[in-house]
A and B are shown apart, each in its own frame.
Chain A
Amino acid sequence: MMKINGYKDNYEMFVKSSGNKSLPVIKPKEYNFNEKKLRKNLTQLLDELDLKDGMTLSFHHHLRNGDHVLNMVMEEIEKRKLKDLTLYASSIFPIHSPLVRMIENGTISQVYSAYVSGPVAKAISEGKMEKVLVMHTHGGRVRIIEMGEVTIDVAFIGAPTCDLFGNISGKIGKNACGAIGYAVTDAQYAKKSVAITDNIVEGLANYDIDGKYIDYILKVNSIGDAQGIVSGTTQITKNPIGLKIARLTTEVIKNSGYFVNGFSFQTGAGGISLAVAKYLKDLMKETNIKGSFASGGITSYLVEMLEEGYFEKLFDVQCFDLEAVRSIRDNGNHIPISASKYANINDDCVVNDLDFVILGATEIDLHFNVNVTTSSTGEIMGGSGGHSDTSYGSKVTIVVSQLFNARIPVIKDQVICKTTPGETVDVLVTERGIAINPLRLDLIERLKKTNLPLKTIRELKAISDELVGIPQEIPFTDQVIAVVEYRDGSVIDFIYKKAL
C-alpha cells in the first residue's frame, strides 16, 4: 500500500472515492450561466447517463401519491431492457404500480425503502422480487448512503422548481411540495444527480438543494399531480373512540413531567394523532405553556399552532398539506430540514431533542415492540418511516391505537414484524386504558397520582381477548422477503413470505 509521509493520512480513501460530491471540488467554469446542464429529452439523457445492469437508482417521495417522476423514468429504463437494478426509493405509494411488472420481469431485482404500500408491497409480499426488500428508517436511509453501504449511481430528483444552476426549490411551482428533505443526501452522494422539473426559473435566491450537487436538469411537462401530493389523510378523526384516545393522550402529556415551557412535540398525520394536536393546543392555552418546536411531517394543524404562537419553530422534513407548503414558503420560523438533520444517527438530529412523539401501531406486543410494517395478517403495507427514529429520540414515546377495531386487535403476544423496539416505546394509549412500559418508572410514578385508567399491557390484552377472542395463527414459510433494518443498520427483524 502506498504511504506518503506528511500528506493526508487517508490518501487511499481519496483516490478511490468515486463521485462523492460532498467533498469540495472545483467545477469547470463553463457550467455557469448557460444551459449546459439542461436536457429536454429523457431518452437522450438516459443515453448520456450510460446506465448499466445492476446499477442503483434513487428517488424521493415528496410527491407522494401524486408522483409521476419514478414511473416516467423507470418505464423508459425498462424499455432499454436493463436488468437487475436496485431501486433506492425513500417510499413507495400505490401510484407506483408499474413497478410490479418491472419486479416480475427482472428489471428491478431489489428495493430499499422506508415505507412500501399498494400493489408494489403486495407483489413483494407474494415473493415476486428476486432479492430481499430492505426496509430502513428515514434516518437509516441517510446513514446507509453516507457509510457507503449503498452507492447510488444515479439520483433522479423530482424538483418542483429548478434554476439553470440546478438549484432546487420544493416551495414553488405548480407541483410545489414544500420541504424536500429526503432528497438532499441523494443529491450530495450519488455519482450522478438529475433534477427533473416542470418549472425552470432564473436564479433561485432561496433553494433547498444546492445546484453544485446537480449534474443534469431534465425539463418535462409535469412531475406530478398536485392532488395526490397532498393526499387526504390529514383530517382530525370524528370517531368518538379516536377522540377519547386523543383526550387520554393529552392527559398523559400533561402529567408526564415533561410538559413544561419549551417542550417539543411531533405527531403523525393519522386521525388520532391530529386530534392529539388539537387537544394539546387547548391544554397549552389553558395552562399558558408554550413549546419550542414541533417537527416531522407537518400539517395545517401544526402550522396554525406556529402562527398562533404555541410553538416557536417547525422543523419540517415533509409537508402533508397545502397549508404546510404555504407556510414553509412564507414563514421564516417554519424551517425545512434534510432527512439527515431529521433523524440520522450520525447527525445532530432533531429527533434527539424531542420531548413527545405520538405514533400509531398496527400491532404492539407485551414487550411494547411495535409493528407498522405489515398488516396484522402479515402483508407488507407500510414501514417505519420515522417511527423508530423518533421513538428512539423522544423522551416520551406514546403509541395511540384503538384496542381493537372491526375485530382486529392491536395487542399481540408477539408482533409479526418488529419495526420499533419496545425499549424505546413508553406508553400505549387505548380507549380502554393506558399501559406504561415497566422500564419507565418515572412515568409510572407520576401518572399513578392521576385518575387516568392505568393498566398493565397484559391486562389490556386480557380485555381485548375477552371481547375479540384469540386470533388464529398466520402461517409463514421460511422464505425471507424483507429485512428490517434499525436506524443504526442492525437487523431487527425479517419478514417471511406467507404460507398459502
Chain B
Amino acid sequence: MKLNKPAKAGTYESNDIYIMIFPGYNSNIIELESVVYETFGEQIKSVINESLNLFQLTGVLVKAIDKGALDFTIRARMTTAIKRGMSNE
C-alpha cells in the first residue's frame, strides 16, 4: 500500500504521541522525540515499525513527538495517520 499525502495524528498532551508521516523517501525513517526516550525509545520505534509493516508501507518518514504514550496509543495514532495519508479526500 502507499501513502498519497503527508498526514498527522495525535496531540502534544501528556500520555499521547503526535505523529507526522511523509511519503516519498527511499526507506522507512523514524525520527523520535520522547519524554521516555532513554527507557522506552526502542519500544516506541518498534511499535511504529509494526504499524508501518501492518500497512506494508515503505519509503515513509515518521516524525513522532512522544509525551509518554502507552503502546495502544502509539498504534492508534499511527493507524489514524496512515489511514488519513492513504485517503484520497
Q: So, do A and B actually touch in the complex, CB under 8 Å?
A: yes
Partner of B39, one of A405, A467, A471: A471
B38 contacts across to A, CB distance below 8 A: 377, 472, 474
Please provide the 5 A-B residue pairs with the shortest distance between their CB atoms, ordered closest to farther: A406-B68, A471-B39, A407-B68, A407-B36, A377-B38
B68 contacts across to A, CB distance below 8 A: 405-408
Within 35-50 of B, Cβ neighbours of A (below 8 Å) are at: 35-36, 38-43
B69 contacts across to A, CB distance below 8 A: 407
Report the minimum CB–CB distance from A174 to chain B (whole Å).
38
Q: List 26 A-B contacts (CB under 8 A).
A: A376-B39, A377-B38, A377-B39, A405-B68, A406-B14, A406-B35, A406-B67, A406-B68, A407-B15, A407-B39, A407-B69, A407-B70, A408-B36, A467-B70, A468-B70, A469-B40, A469-B70, A469-B71, A471-B36, A471-B39, A471-B40, A472-B41, A472-B42, A472-B43, A474-B38, A474-B39
Q: How many chain A residues have a CB neighbour from B under 8 Å? A: 12
A467 contacts across to B, CB distance below 8 A: 70
A467-B70, A468-B70, A469-B71 are known contacts. Are A406 and B36 too (CB-CB below 8 A)? yes
B42 contacts across to A, CB distance below 8 A: 472
A408 contacts across to B, CB distance below 8 A: 35-36, 39, 68
Q: How many chain B residues have a CB neighbour from A under 8 Å? A: 15
Residues of B at the A interface (CB closer than 8 Å) are 14-15, 35-36, 38-43, 67-71
Residue of A nearest to B47 (CB): A469
Report the minimum CB–CB distance from A326 to chain B (whole Å).
35
Complex Cα spacing A140 to B39, Å: 33
Residues of A at the B interface (CB closer than 8 Å) are 376-377, 405-408, 467-469, 471-472, 474
Residue of A nearest to B44 (CB): A407
Query: Assuming A377-B38, A405-B14, A472-B40, what are 17 further A-B pairs, CB within 8 angstroms?
Result: A376-B39, A406-B14, A406-B15, A406-B35, A406-B36, A407-B35, A407-B36, A407-B68, A407-B69, A408-B39, A468-B70, A469-B43, A469-B70, A469-B71, A471-B39, A472-B39, A472-B42
Report the minimum CB–CB distance from B43 to chain A (whole Å).
6
A405 contacts across to B, CB distance below 8 A: 14, 68
Complex Cα spacing A405 to B70, Å: 10
Residue of B nearest to A375 (CB): B38
Residue of B nearest to A473 (CB): B39
Residue of A nearest to B42 (CB): A472
Complex Cα spacing A215 to B42, Å: 59
Report the minimum CB–CB distance from B77 to chain A (whole Å).
14
Residue of A nearest to B71 (CB): A469
Greatest chain A CB density within 10 A among B35, B38, B40 is at B38
B15 contacts across to A, CB distance below 8 A: 406-407
Greatest chain B CB density within 10 A among A407, A467, A469 is at A407
Report the minimum CB–CB distance from B14 to chain A (whole Å).
5
